[in-house]
């Protein structure tokens, strides 16, 4: 199955859907992070998750990635073509990529070998993985920085490298946990533009956690709003914006209206 | 990078001047007040003791160096290995860790007589003492590096199905390198101390007589100049080991770690 990942036909495969049924997660210290979450994410969908900080957005993302286990309920990833549900641990891991709040690159590796790391861990040969890594690096516009080390890069470039590392396995489900929150406004908007272009070009599902209603409205087709702990879904909203979006959409009245809807939903549930 | 680096001369000249000034002062005071040479060694005599003239100090340095390096090498290998084992299992760590902390507070050189009693004379008890004295800082520092790997990176390795070995070799150990070097720097100085203390006890019966043996002997026969010369050589040994570790640390960390 692994070599298939790197054939060009790969992206004609559809994105991975997600089904979450009555998920509950309680931490060892007794805090209930999530309780009774039901959520369906369609194949190829771009979903934004909004919510007050500390409400359990990251926990939800970790459960979807299979990095954490729920105490109750189920998390499935779905093959859209045959509607077949697949529990975690059945060899679908390489289909899922995760981008953290900080770039989290290995500081002792240059950009190329950092980006090639997922393929290296999956046991893919050096030549193939470095070619794939080079492609992913160019995809995020970091082409001439491939041999630089993380401490020689700006915050925005580090985040691009982190994005390239996630894209290198050509994931069918991309999970992003407030990835651009620490960047300045201009860099953040550029990366948002780039991410949207990547999503439009490659057939993947994206679940994007953010606390910015503007970012959510620009990127996503659909946004859910979580309440504070224990998190419940208090709003599930399909954004009423054109499918083709460029940076200039941010200054349209329609965009302002959609942002306000999300903002009000967030505000209603702020404690 | 913005300010000009201070020149070599500006770095070396002031401490060299200070040293010459102090040594000349001691020399002059010892001569003019007719201090007996068996009590107060003249700096000039200490320097002469390091020259040719059958004091055997350089030969002694060789044996102390061999024992210290052997003990230090054993500490490096065993210390890192032990820390990897401790980091690998939470239960083993919980069982053993309090004792590694306890051992850091024990003046371990105090068991040197016992080592000599067990192993007899020769270089083996000396190297063993260097090892025993220097191993705990290596274990403790390596362990603290191994268990403080960033959780997000651990998640990343799990996400791509990395084996425990891959996570250790490609993530935990490289991330712990700065801590490992801290442990090795401490261990280098301790290994020399451990060796010299063991040599005090081995006495003149051994065939490979190190600096510790010479220090005891020359104290007994009232050659303080030779004692000071031996202490000087032992310091240089520790300094040389420390410098080599610093060079290796610089070469392996310069690209990515803030300490370099």
Rounded to 5°, angle at Cα B13 from B9 and B19: 160
A171 at B interface, C-beta within 8 A:
no
Query: Residue B174: which of A98, A108, A151 has the nearest Cβ?
Result: A108
- Phi-psi category of residue A198: left, alpha or beta, with phi > 0 → left and psi -120 to 50 → alpha: alpha
What is the CATH number that goes with domain A25-106+174-268? 3.40.50.300
Q: Is the confidence at residue A69, as pLDDT, over 60? A: yes
A148 at B interface, C-beta within 8 A:
no
3-state secondary structure of B56: coil
Q: With contacts defined as CB-CB under 8 Å, which chain A residues touch B157? A: 121
Best of A108, A133, A164 to disrupt the B interface (most B CBs within 10 Å) is A108
pLDDT at position B150, please? 92
The reply to whether residue A93 touches residue B159, judged by beta carbons under 8 angstroms, is yes
Rounded CA gap, A112 and A134, in Å?
7
A106 close to B171: Cβ distance less than 8 angstroms: yes
Average pLDDT over residues A126-150: 91
The rounded radius of gyration (Å) of the Cα atoms in chain B is 23
The reply to whether residue A102 touches residue B152, judged by beta carbons under 8 angstroms, is yes
Domain boundaries, chain A: 25-106+174-268
> What number of helices (H) and strands (E) belong to chain A?
7, 10
- What element of type H or E holds B101? helix B90-105
B257 at A interface, C-beta within 8 A:
yes
Give the gap in angstroms from C-alpha B161 to the nearest C-alpha of chain A: 7
Confidence of residue B120 (pLDDT cuts 50, 70, 90): confident
Dump pLDDT digits (tens) for A90-102: 333 478 999 998 9
Q: Is the confidence at residue A54, as pLDDT, over 90? A: no
The rounded radius of gyration (Å) of the Cα atoms in chain A is 18
Tell me which residue of A190, A175, A219 sits closest to A41, measured CA to CA.
A175
Give the gap in angstroms from C-alpha B256 to the nearest C-alpha of chain A: 5
The token pair that represents B23 in the structure block? 């040594």
Average pLDDT, whole number, for chain A? 84
pLDDT at position B61, please? 92
Q: Which domains does chain B have, with CATH numbers?
A: 56-253 (1.10.3720.10)
pLDDT at position B260, please? 64
What is the DSSP code (8-state) at residue B168? I
Max Cα-Cα span within chain A: 53
Tell me which residue of B213, B241, B208 sits closest to B226, measured CA to CA.
B213
Rounded CA gap, B114 and B225, in Å?
31
pLDDT at position A86, please? 47
B169: closest chain A residue by CA: A121
The token pair that represents A261 in the structure block? 């809807």
What is the DSSP code (8-state) at residue A146? T
Dump pLDDT digits (tens) for A239-263: 888 888 888 888 899 899 999 999 9
Average pLDDT over residues A103-125: 93
B153: closest chain A residue by CA: A104
B158 at A interface, C-beta within 8 A:
yes
Q: Please indicate, yes or no, whether the overall pTM of this predicted structure exceeds 0.95.
A: no
pLDDT at position B3, please? 57
Average pLDDT, whole number, for chain B? 88
pLDDT at position A87, please? 44
Dump pLDDT digits (tens) for B209-247: 899 999 998 888 888 899 999 999 999 999 999 999 999
Query: Residue A107: which of B152, B159, B256 has the nearest Cβ?
Result: B256
Dump pLDDT digits (tens) for A10-53: 444 678 888 888 888 888 888 888 888 899 998 889 999 998 87
Torsion over CA of A108, A114, A119 and A121, rounded to 10 degrees? 30
Query: How large is the angle between the packed helices B173-202 and B123-146, nearest 10 degrees?
Result: 160
The reply to whether residue A122 touches residue B257, judged by beta carbons under 8 angstroms, is no
pLDDT more than 90, % of chain A? 36
pLDDT at position A207, please? 95
Query: Residue B160: which of A62, A94, A104 has the nearest Cβ?
Result: A94
3-state secondary structure of A125: coil
Rounded CA gap, A218 and B76, in Å?
54
Strand ranges in chain A using DSSP code E only, listed in sequence order: 17-26, 32-41, 46-50, 72-79, 84-87, 96-99, 173-177, 205-209, 222-226, 233-238
B152 at A interface, C-beta within 8 A:
yes
What is the DSSP code (8-state) at residue A108? T
The token pair that represents A202 in the structure block? 């490659």
Torsion over CA of B136, B138, B140 and B143, rounded to 10 degrees? -140
* Cβ neighbours, 10 Å, residue B80: 21
Length of chain B: 260
- Give Cα separations from B123 to B64, B131, B240 (angstroms): 9, 12, 21
Query: Residue A104: which of B156, B158, B161 has the nearest Cβ?
Result: B156
Query: Residue B256: which of A93, A121, A151 has the nearest Cβ?
Result: A151
- Cα A26 vs. chain centroid, distance in angstroms? 23
Rounded CA gap, A227 and A37, in Å?
11
Non-local CB neighbours of B30 within 8 Å, separated by 6+ positions:
B40, B41, B42
């Amino acid at each position: 199955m692994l070599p298939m990942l790197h054939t060009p036909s790969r992206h004609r495969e559809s994105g991975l859907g997600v089904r979450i049924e009555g998920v509950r997660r309680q931490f060892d210290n007794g805090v209930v992070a999530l309780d009774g979450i039901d959520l369906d994410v369609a194949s190829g969908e771009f979903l934004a998750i909004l919510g007050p900080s500390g409400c359990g957005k990251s926990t939800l993302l970790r459960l979807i990635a299979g990095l954490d286990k729920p105490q109750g309920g189920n998390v499935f990833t779905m093959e859209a073509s045959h509607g077949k549900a697949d529990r975690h641990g059945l060899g679908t891991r390489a289909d899922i990529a995760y981008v953290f709040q900080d770039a989290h690159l290995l500081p002792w590796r240059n950009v190329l070998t950092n980006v090639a790391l997922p393929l290296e861990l999956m046991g893919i040969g050096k030549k193939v993985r470095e070619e794939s890594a080079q492609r992913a690096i160019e995809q995020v516009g970091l082409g001439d920085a491939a041999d630089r080390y993380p401490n020689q890069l700006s915050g925005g470039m580090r985040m691009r490298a982190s994005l390239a590392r996630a894209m290198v396995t050509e994931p069918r489900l991309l999970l992003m946990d407030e990835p651009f929150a620490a960047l300045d406004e201009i860099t953040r908007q550029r990366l948002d533009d780039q991410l949207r272009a990547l999503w439009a070009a490659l057939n993947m599902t994206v679940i994007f956690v953010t606390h910015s209603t503007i970012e959510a409205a620009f990127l996503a087709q659909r946004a859910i709003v979580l309440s504070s702990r224990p998190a419940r879904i208090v709003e599930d909203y399909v954004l009423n914006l054109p499918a083709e979006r460029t940076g200039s959409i941010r200054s349209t009245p329609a965009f302002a209206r959609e942002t306000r809807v999300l903002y009000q939903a967030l505000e209603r549930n702020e404690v | 990078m913005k300010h000009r680096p201070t020149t070599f001369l500006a770095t070396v000249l002031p401490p060299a001047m200070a040293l010459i000034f102090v040594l000349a002062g001691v020399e002059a005071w010892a001569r003019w007040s007719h201090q007996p040479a068996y009590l107060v060694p003249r700096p000039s005599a200490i320097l002469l003791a390091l020259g040719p003239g059958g004091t055997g100090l350089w030969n002694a340095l060789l044996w102390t160096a061999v024992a210290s390096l052997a003990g230090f090498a054993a500490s490096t290998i065993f210390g890192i290995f032990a820390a990897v084992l401790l980091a690998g299992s939470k239960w083993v760590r919980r069982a053993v860790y309090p004792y590694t902390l306890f051992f850091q507070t024990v003046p371990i050189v105090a068991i040197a007589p016992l080592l000599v009693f067990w192993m007899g004379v020769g270089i083996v008890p000396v190297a063993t003492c260097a090892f025993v004295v220097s191993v705990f800082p290596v274990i403790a520092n390596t362990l603290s590096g191994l268990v403080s790997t960033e959780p997000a990176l651990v998640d990343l390795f799990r996400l791509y199905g990395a084996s425990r070995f891959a996570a250790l070799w490609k993530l935990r150990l490289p991330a712990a390198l700065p801590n490992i070097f801290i442990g090795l720097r401490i261990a280098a100085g301790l290994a020399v101390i451990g060796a010299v203390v063991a040599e005090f006890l081995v006495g003149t019966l051994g065939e490979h007589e190190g600096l510790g043996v010479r220090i005891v002997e020359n104290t007994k026969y009232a050659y303080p100049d030779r004692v000071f010369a031996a202490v000087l050589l032992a310091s240089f040994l520790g300094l040389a080991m420390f410098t080599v570790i610093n060079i290796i640390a610089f070469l392996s960390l310069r690209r990515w770690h803030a300490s370099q």
